[in-house]
Amino acid sequence: MMFRKITLAIAVAAIAVPMAAATAPAAELTIPSLAYRTGPYAPNGIPFANGYADYWNLLNERDGGIEGSKIKVVECETAYNTKQGVECYENTKGEGAGALVYQPLSTGITYQLIPKASSDQIPVFSMGYGRTSAANGKVFDWIFNFPATYWDGATTIVQYIAEQEGGMDKLKGKKLALVYHNSAYGKEPIRTLEVMAEKFGYNLLLLPVDHPGQEQKATWLQVRKERPDWVMMWGWGVMNQVAVKEAASIRYPMDRFIGIWWSGSENDVLPAGDAANGYLSAAVHAPGADFGVHKDIMKFLYDKDKGAGERDRVGEVLYNRGLVAAMWTSEAIRTAMKIHGTNEPTAAQVRDGFENLKVDEARLAELGLKGFTYGIEISCENHSGPGKAAIQQWDAKAKQWRIISKYYDRLPEITGPLIEEDSAAYAKENNITPRSCN
């Protein structure tokens, strides 16, 4: 009897719920969010997903969407797993009038989606991750990876190191170590660092760490033995915090340990406590919640209990990363609307919006993000933007990240030929004729 009642309840719920959901308004912009709030990388995935969701909700609540079109964010759980990411992509791409743009949020999923989304004609915005050579818009029409690629990141970090040492010529004979996640993501900067090693004369020490990165004793033993002058890190998830802790335990000087922008959030340094003080990482935007847009988020979302996450975690580094990703995406959609004179752009039109995207300092100020990041301009050839990055430092006492340097420009003479070479190899392998950009 009990069982029958439950079955009946489930059946009723199954029929009633879709009927209630079917009365949605017509003009909607569908933005899938491939989030990961579960799995080994969840601590990093959650703040990003919250920032991403909050910005879209803010646009809905404050401005009534983008130019009058409401935004519908469809969240799909990937657990940072490629298989589930592909399932999410296939599941959400036909949602509503069709998904407009994807943020795969994992290098593995990005690699998977590059050919697929290109053939489905949906733009992919792999912001500061994914395949670096997608910077070449002639080969990768549908992929955008601004504001900076991993290779840009490698060149900016080396520039910072050189500045501390007293000039590029002082790099000669120095020993630089790279501690990296032993996957496509972590291997990205190796070639750039090798080319630079040849040019600037430093020695490069490569130290891979296998997924998920909980076991790093051997790696840091090697650091202790080899005594590199600087350690760089391409890590993600639990690997970051373990690395910071291990570095602290061998008393490696924290201000000579620099992570990429995915290895520099509160999650990565808090577990190590005071020992993490002075740890450095690259950054493409500012940390903190002191910007106009954060005040709006508090006013329109968290005060009304509509926020995606916890109130006191707004303004964390990865929260801001999600926010800036949504900001650039929304500006691209806005640009697409202007170009094509419609308030319901298709995915292909949004791609045009990305390609003509220009968010300068003045526009940032209008958006309530003055000084939050740098101005960008995307073009047909250049999908990676200006490629600048600054260095931020962790202050363990104040529990705050602070940007301590200027935004360094990338070294195009290093990255340019590498991008050219890698994208040409991709084009050849997949029978793509690079388009002309004139």
Partner 1 sequence: MLYREAGQFKTGYNTDQSIFPIRQDRWAIALFLAVAVVAVPLVIDDYWAKAVLLPLLVYAMATLGLNILVGYCGQISLGTGGFMAVGAFASYKLTTAFPDLNLIIVLLLSGCVTAAVGVLFGLPSLRIKGFYLAVATLAAQFFLVWLFNKVEWFYNYNATGQITMPPREVFGFLITGPEATPAATYLFALGFLIVFGLVAKNIVRGRVGRMWMAIRDMDIAAELIGVRPLMAKLSAFAVSSFYVGVAGGLYFTVWFGAVEVTEAFDINQSFQVLFMVIIGGLGSILGSFLGAAFLVLMPILLKNFMVNWLGVAAVTAKHVEITLLGVLIIFFLIVEPHGFARLWQILKEKLRLWPFPY
**Interface residue with partner 1, options 31, 66, 71, 79 (CB under 8 A):** 79
Tell me the torsion sign for CA atoms 124, 126, 130, 132: positive
If one asks whether residue 265 binds partner 1 (CB under 8 A), the answer comes out as: no
Residue 383 contacts residue 134 (beta carbons within 8 Å): yes
User: Which CB atom, from 183 or from 277, has the smaller least distance to partner 1?
Assistant: 183
If one asks whether residue 187 binds partner 1 (CB under 8 A), the answer comes out as: yes
**Interface residue with partner 1, options 54, 77, 246, 316 (CB under 8 A):** 77
- How far apart are alpha carbons 65 and 41 in whole angstroms? 31
Provide the b/e sequence for 187-206 (b: ≥16 CB within 10 Å): bbbbbbbebbbeebebebee
User: Which CB atom, from 431 or from 438, has the smaller least distance to partner 1?
Assistant: 431
Which 99-118 positions form the footprint of partner 1 (CB under 8 A)?
Answer: 107-108, 111-112, 115-116, 118
- Min dist CB 85 to partner 1, Å, is 11
User: Which CB atom, from 62 or from 116, has the smaller least distance to partner 1?
Assistant: 116
- Amino acid symbol at 166: G
- Min dist CB 332 to partner 1, Å, is 23
If one asks whether residue 210 binds partner 1 (CB under 8 A), the answer comes out as: yes
Omega prior to 212 cis, within 30 of 0: yes
**Interface residue with partner 1, options 30, 81, 392, 415 (CB under 8 A):** 81
- Of 179-187, 252-260, 275-283, 362-370, the window that binds partner 1 (rule: CB under 8 A) is 179-187
Stated as kind and residue range, the H or E segment containing 346 is none
Tell me the torsion sign for CA atoms 149, 329, 376, 143: positive
Tell me the torsion sign for CA atoms 33, 34, 36, 38: positive
If one asks whether residue 87 binds partner 1 (CB under 8 A), the answer comes out as: yes
Other C-beta atoms closer than 10 Å to the C-beta of 99 total: 23
Phi and psi torsions of 413, nearest 5° = -70, -20
DSSP codes joined into one string, 179-243: EEESSHHHHTTHHHHHHHHHHH--EEEEEEE-TT----HHHHHHHHHH--SEEEEE--THHHHHH
If one asks whether residue 82 binds partner 1 (CB under 8 A), the answer comes out as: yes
Token pair for 42? 């969840």
- Of 83-91, 168-176, 347-355, 362-370, the window that binds partner 1 (rule: CB under 8 A) is 83-91
If one asks whether residue 25 binds partner 1 (CB under 8 A), the answer comes out as: no
- Min dist CB 117 to partner 1, Å, is 8
If one asks whether residue 97 binds partner 1 (CB under 8 A), the answer comes out as: no
**Interface residue with partner 1, options 9, 27, 425, 437 (CB under 8 A):** 425
If one asks whether residue 343 binds partner 1 (CB under 8 A), the answer comes out as: no
Token pair for 405? 């340097």
Q: Is 269 helix (H, G, I), strand (E, B) or coil?
A: helix
Closest to 125 measured CA to CA, from 281, 308, 286, 324 = 324
**Interface residue with partner 1, options 28, 62, 67, 86 (CB under 8 A):** 86
- Of 157-165, 186-194, 335-343, 351-359, the window that binds partner 1 (rule: CB under 8 A) is 186-194
- Of 17-25, 62-70, 334-342, 376-384, the window that binds partner 1 (rule: CB under 8 A) is 17-25
Q: What share of the chain is helix, strand, coil (3-state, %, to 5)?
A: 50, 15, 35
Q: Which residues bind partner 1 (CB under 8 A)?
A: 13-14, 17-18, 21, 35, 37-38, 75-77, 79, 81-83, 86-87, 90-91, 93-94, 107-108, 111-112, 115-116, 118-120, 131, 182-184, 187-188, 190-191, 210-211, 422, 425, 429-431
